[in-house]
């Protein structure tokens, strides 16, 4: 899954578990850093617990489509943080 | 509870959810819960793909607290029904309040 956090980060990992308050346990996670300059940077994180308060969006990644994207080619502005 | 019921009546319709971080996501409303968390199926990002992060995502869960707007096609909405439901809700809340005021004074 791809998790977008409220501070605008994108973290990709395998969803191991969750609870009522949408806290998540993510395995083999890495952060995808997008910038308008170079392509996409991936930072390895391992096993992560993300608190539900901090989550904005959880997206189900289609493995086939995802493996066909060349991340070095993708350029985009970073996502904004959530403003209440 | 009113808007929870309202969204339940819109399941299966295509909506655009605009989030508080300026991201917009278009998709079919799959489900909603008491926190107004939204699950959308068959995502597309309308903002000329300014947000490529969602290219490989088909379905997503959006936390209710990050939603700014839910854009709905006008044809889907029965305004009369919504107005009646709102009036009933207000009347219900008012009668709850007067009951609460009466009880503690006893």
Residue A26 belongs to some domain of the structure: yes
User: Residue B82's pLDDT is what?
Assistant: 86
pLDDT digits (tens, 9 = 90+) for A35-84: 765 545 666 678 888 999 999 999 998 887 777 676 666 667 778 899 88
Chain A residues with beta carbon closer than 8 angstroms to that of B60: 57-60
Closest CA to B56 of A31, A71, A23: A71
Decide if A24 is inside a domain.
yes
Whole-complex ipTM: 0.83
b (16+ CB within 10 A) / e for A69-80: eeeeeeeeeebe
DSSP A52: G
Phi first, then psi: give them for residue B53, nearest 5 degrees.
-55, -25
The pLDDT score that the predictor gives to residue A72 is 62
Q: Which residue out of A9, A15, A57 would a mutagenesis test of the B interface target, given it has the greatest number of B Cβ atoms within 10 Å?
A: A57
DSSP alpha helix (H) spans, B17-78: none
Per-residue pLDDT tens for B61-88? 999 999 999 999 888 888 888 888 889 9
Does residue A25 fall inside a structural domain?
yes
Query: How far apart are the C-alpha atoms of B10 and A35, rounded to whole Å?
Result: 37
List, for residues B2-51, the tens digit of each pLDDT value. Answer: 889 989 989 999 999 999 999 999 999 999 999 999 999 999 888 777 78
| Domain B2-73 classification at class level | mainly beta
Residue B68, number of CB atoms within 10 A of its CB: 15
List the single best residue of B47, B65, B69 to mutate versus A (max A Cβ within 10 A). Answer: B65
The more confident residue out of B8 and B56 is: B8
Q: Can you count the helices (H) and strands (E) in chain B?
A: 2, 5
Domain coordinates of chain B in residue numbers? 2-73
The CATH number of residue A49's host domain is 2.30.30.100
On the CB side of A44, CA atoms within 13 Å amount to 2
């Amino acid at each position: 899954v791809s998790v977008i956090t409220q501070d605008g980060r994108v973290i990709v990992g395998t969803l191991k578990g969750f609870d009522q308050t949408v806290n998540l346990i993510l395995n083999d996670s890495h952060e995808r850093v997008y910038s308008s300059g170079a392509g996409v940077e991936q930072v390895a994180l391992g096993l992560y617990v993300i608190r539900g308060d901090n989550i904005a969006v959880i997206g189900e990644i289609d493995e086939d489509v995802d493996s066909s994207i060349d991340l070095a080619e993708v350029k985009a502005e970073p996502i904004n943080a959530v403003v209440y | 509870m009113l808007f929870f019921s309202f969204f339940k009546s819109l399941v299966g319709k295509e909506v655009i959810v605009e989030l508080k971080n300026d991201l917009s996501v278009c998709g079919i409303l799959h489900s909603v819960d008491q926190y107004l968390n939204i699950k959308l199926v068959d995502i597309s990002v309308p903002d000329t793909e300014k947000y490529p992060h969602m290219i490989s995502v088909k379905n997503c869960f959006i936390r209710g607290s990050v939603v700014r707007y839910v854009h709905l096609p006008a044809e889907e909405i029965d305004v009369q029904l919504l107005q009646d439901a709102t009036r009933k809700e207000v009347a219900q809340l008012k009668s709850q309040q007067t009951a609460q005021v009466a009880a503690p004074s006893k």
